[in-house]
Amino acid sequence: METSNNSLSFSRRSFIKTVGLSTGGIMLGFTLFEACNPDSKVMIDPETLNYKDFNAFIKIAENGMVTIYSKNPEIGQGVKTSMPMLIAEELDVPWEHVLVRQADLDTKNFKGQVAGGSQSIRSSWTPLRQTGATARQMLINAAAIKWGVDASECTTNEGVIENSRGEKLGYGEIVTEAALLEIPDNVKLKNPKDFKIIGKDIRNVDIDKITSGKPLFGLDYKKEGMVYAVSLRPPAFGQKLVSFDATEAKNVPGVIDVFQFGDKIAVLGNNTWAAMSGKNALIAEWSSDETLMSSEDHDVELEKLLDSDKLKEVRSDGNVNIAKMNADKVIEYTYEAPFLPHSCMEPMNFFAHVTDDKVELAGPIQTPEGTARQVAGLLKREPDDVHLVLTRIGGGFGRRLIGDYALEAAEISNISKKPVKLVYTREDDMAGGFYRPIVKYKISAAIKDNKLIGYHLKEAAVGSSINKSRASYFPAGCVKNYKVEAAQLRSEITTGPWRAPVCNFLATAEQTFIDELAEELNQDPVKLRLELLEVAKKDKKNKMEWSPERMQAVIKLAAEKANWGKSKKGVYQGFSAYYSHNSHVAEVAEVVLKDGVPVVTKVYCVVDCGVVVNPLGAKNQLEGGIIDGIGHAMYGEMPFVKGKPQNLNYGDYRLIRMMETPIVETYFIDSNEDPTGLGEPSLPPVGAAVANAIKAATGERYRKQPYTKYMVS
Amino acid sequence: MPTFNLKINNEKHTVEVDADTPLLWVLRDSLGFVGTKYGCGIGQCGACTVHVEGTATRSCLLQVSQAEGVNITTIEGLSENGDHPVQKAWLEHDVPQCGYCQAGQIMTASALLNNNPNPSDEDIESAMNGNICRCGTYVRIKEAVKTAAKL
């Protein structure tokens, strides 16, 4: 029987998956000591132990070693380490006894197998702890039955159950019986002060494999008989395939087959290089690109939209027009950002093997469930026919929320009837993007008696746009008359979520504007932010997703840590603060001038993300988000000429490198609140922190990214 | 197709591939040394870095025909148990995020320390600047290289 309990991340069925348990296990003939003591002469590889299914998340071996399955895709955000930590904490086992494995797509046993929106930890915080706590209670109950005592007399400590008589049983000794028991309801979760694993620095669980080059990633995945595929796609968005000549391609050594599918041509080879070389030898004719737009056209059209009647209201408080009429002064500035590719270091790739029996898929994907469903739809198969193995993912940043490359692999395998690994070349990856939308924000402020009385933001973008929720982030609520409007420019160029969607540049625009407002009001930018937040605190009418109090706290601590306003001679500071992905962040960037050129030397970052599950991993995310944000603000741009993306490899497309990387100092607000997002929130504020610091250093105000493009050296 | 004799991680391997095949794809597809990664194919990202006679080399730019008769080391051969000082330092600093570029970073760093056991900050930046990390783990990479120099 399945009962529903919405707070659980597992279905009840996952606990009853105990096939084979009654057959008993093999006595493995070694002690926990031998398995876990690094000095032991007989090192036992935990991967070779005989684990027993406890449920879909947990397996326990007789010596007490525990395997925990991590259900969500790992794209570098660290959930393969932090999510199992939540289970291990409540299961009450030492982390050293835990082996973590990546779960395959399993919609029957797992909910929400997705990596997006920095929600993995936030949404699993209670459910995964309940998973561990429920298993722990069942182990206690089984031991109690065996001892003939009441379960309430039993306690656990690091994988061992003890009763009031002092008798002990290891989890591994009772797992078989425990897994068959009724599942208890309302198990008690630990008091955070009793946490032994949560809040500790835990290393990336794959680090040994990563540093020794073991196969982990989609590109490393291999299957018997597998061939390699590379596709030729239309060079410009909006172009169609007219004709092609594959004579030369077929003559390339190692090329097995060439065929058209849709507007694309697949080249199959017996190795990646052969397939790539075959693709290069193809001659294709494409439809005309005369009507397709270039970057200059986007620029003009977006500018027009900002003052057109196509703008639609997203949020409106009070009356911004009246505020402007009553104002002593209205200031208005426009902020602009280009299309950006995701440029994950592991290019898009996927394995597919379509047979009459089933559809096997394997590779890097942030949305395994949705992608498997789309593949089933494409091939007109039952969803149950599709099996998807999740590999470790060489960067996601939102690109792998879209499974176009998995569908392509499935289609190529379906046509060729072969197990196929589809590989994008770097150029394919950069040209086949779902780019961060090109966007312009025009922001105006109505000022009266040296106070902000109205705030008006207009957005024009290609692709995704500001929604009501994002239009309600800081500084919404901080000014009585407030309005956000947005308009869309249609384009053939595909756009998609890019790390901290919309916020990644919305925050830059707004937090740069607040700096400009502070200049206009002749006020300190930190004080101005704190004052604006006072207004939001008094506003009881608008129920907000974010907290002005928590925002003030991060701002104050960032100012304190950075010694705001008292930086050393020649060091110029810029401030920024933003709320996104349920976390509050404040940052200070420091810039110095080297030969007159502004260089970012240091960034201070203060975050309130509730409980920090794994500080070591969490700091890594903050550092990475900041460096990523600076790199793209300074250098990132994908220009288009008649629908054709221009910078297709790292010779032309500049990513930040070590020489341009500042020191990053990170701090967390001490908190017992439930954890919130961390993979994205450090990125949005940093663009403005840098722009504001550059203004302080040079007097030049940068409103258009990438900043270095517009710097006069 | 022609055959080539390669010496990789102190072992001899014979492969039959097209002469212009980059060493990268021979390592990955023909020999299964998948620790060496493909990132750009034009020597701009460093993900494919291996050692040729101890020097950091982009395997995407080295044709198999040029790789005969030299000692090639890949990440799999850097140490027997993953305990090269650079690998140990990477563990100590918990450097990786996605991890895809890290084998290349480690091969560049270990080649640097072979030639320059006590690098300055500038030496490290200069040596590591050819390796891109899209996740932005540069702060930790730099610290880990410094730690490795002391091990």
Task: Report domain extents, chain A.
Answer: 12-212, 218-288+348-423, 296-339+435-710
CA distance A705 to A709: 8
Contact A218, A350 (CB under 8 A): yes
Provide, as residue numbers in chain B, all residues whose Cβ is less than 8 Å from the Cβ of A214. Answer: 35
Tell me what pLDDT residue A39 has.
Answer: 41
Residue A468, Cβ density class (10 Å: 0-12 exposed, 13-18 middle, ≥19 buried): exposed
The nearest CA of chain A is from the CA of B76 a distance in Å of: 6
Closest CA to A398 of A340, A473, A350, A349: A340
Domains and CATH numbers, chain B: 3-77 (3.10.20.30), 85-150 (1.10.150.120)
Contact A284, A241 (CB under 8 A): yes
Residues in chain A, how many? 713
Query: What confidence category does residue A179 fall into, taking pLDDT thresholds of 50, 70 and 90?
Result: confident
Q: List Cβ neighbours of A288 (8 Å cut-off, separation of 6 or more).
A: none
Nearest beta carbon to residue B125 from set A211, A617, A659: A659
Interface test mutation site (partner A, options B78, B100, B108, B126, max chain A beta carbons within 10 A):
B100
Amino acid at A26: I
From residue A356, alpha-carbon distances to A105, A225, A381, A382, A422 in Å are 20, 17, 10, 12, 20
Tell me if A395 and B142 make a contact (CB, 8 A cut-off): no
Q: Which two tokens stand for residue A667?
A: 């701090």
Phi and psi of B77, rounded to 5°? -105, 5
If one counts every other C-beta atom within 10 angstroms of the C-beta of residue A607, the result is 29
Q: How far is CA B98 from the centre of its chain?
A: 17
What fold does the segment set A12-212 form as a domain? Aldehyde Oxidoreductase; domain 4 (3.30.365)
The nearest CA of chain B is from the CA of A681 a distance in Å of: 14
CA distance A554 to B150: 37
Tell me if B18 and A274 make a contact (CB, 8 A cut-off): yes
Flag whether pLDDT at A48 surpasses 90: no
Tell me if B99 and A212 make a contact (CB, 8 A cut-off): no
CA distance A440 to A406: 33
Interface test mutation site (partner A, options B97, B101, B106, max chain A beta carbons within 10 A):
B97
Query: What confidence category does residue A109 fall into, taking pLDDT thresholds of 50, 70 and 90?
Result: confident
Helices (H) and strands (E) in chain B, counts: 5, 5
CA distance A706 to B16: 46
pLDDT digits (tens, 9 = 90+) for A573-618: 999 999 999 999 999 999 999 999 999 999 999 999 999 999 999 9
Tell me what pLDDT residue A10 has.
Answer: 42
The nearest CA of chain A is from the CA of B54 a distance in Å of: 17
Q: Which residue in this structure is represented by tokens 């006590």?
A: B118
Query: What confidence category does residue A19 fall into, taking pLDDT thresholds of 50, 70 and 90?
Result: very low
The nearest CA of chain A is from the CA of B12 a distance in Å of: 20
The nearest CA of chain B is from the CA of A75 a distance in Å of: 6
Nearest beta carbon to residue A624 from set B38, B124, B135: B135
Tell me if B140 and A623 make a contact (CB, 8 A cut-off): yes
Query: What confidence category does residue B1 fall into, taking pLDDT thresholds of 50, 70 and 90?
Result: confident
CATH of domain A218-288+348-423: 3.30.365.10
Tell me what pLDDT residue A713 has.
Answer: 58
The nearest CA of chain B is from the CA of A329 a distance in Å of: 42
pLDDT digits (tens, 9 = 90+) for A407-431: 999 999 999 999 999 999 999 999 9
Task: Say whether A218-288+348-423 and A12-212 share the same fold.
Answer: yes
Dihedral angle over CA of A130, A136, A139, A145, nearest 10:
-90
CA distance B59 to A365: 27
pTM: 0.94
Nearest beta carbon to residue B35 from set A213, A277, A661: A213
Tell me if A628 and B101 make a contact (CB, 8 A cut-off): no
pLDDT digits (tens, 9 = 90+) for A647-656: 999 999 999 9
Q: What is the mean pLDDT of residues A547-554?
A: 97
pLDDT digits (tens, 9 = 90+) for A494-513: 999 999 999 999 999 999 99
If one counts every other C-beta atom within 10 angstroms of the C-beta of residue A594, the result is 9
Closest CA to A661 of A602, A581, A578, A611: A602
Tell me if A624 and B136 make a contact (CB, 8 A cut-off): yes
Contact A55, A132 (CB under 8 A): no
Residue A601, Cβ density class (10 Å: 0-12 exposed, 13-18 middle, ≥19 buried): middle
Q: List Cβ neighbours of B143 (8 Å cut-off, separation of 6 or more).
A: B93
Q: List Cβ neighbours of A90 (8 Å cut-off, separation of 6 or more).
A: A129, A130, A131, A132, A133, A136, A189, A190
Average pLDDT, chain B: 98
CA distance B6 to A420: 28
Closest CA to B23 of B42, B39, B6, B1: B6
Q: What is the mean pLDDT of residues A168-195?
A: 92
Provide, as residue numbers in chain A, all residues whose Cβ is less than 8 Å from the Cβ of B106. Answer: 211
CA distance A170 to A177: 13
Nearest beta carbon to residue B136 from set A211, A212, A627: A627
- Select A296-339+435-710's CATH number: 1.10.390.10, 3.40.50.360, 3.30.365.10, 3.40.630.10: 3.30.365.10
Tell me what pLDDT residue A46 has.
Answer: 61
pLDDT digits (tens, 9 = 90+) for B38-57: 999 999 999 999 999 999 99
Interface test mutation site (partner B, options A75, A207, A210, A594, max chain B beta carbons within 10 A):
A210
Closest CA to B6 of B57, B60, B56, B74: B74
Tell me what pLDDT residue A605 has.
Answer: 98
Tell me what pLDDT residue A49 has.
Answer: 60
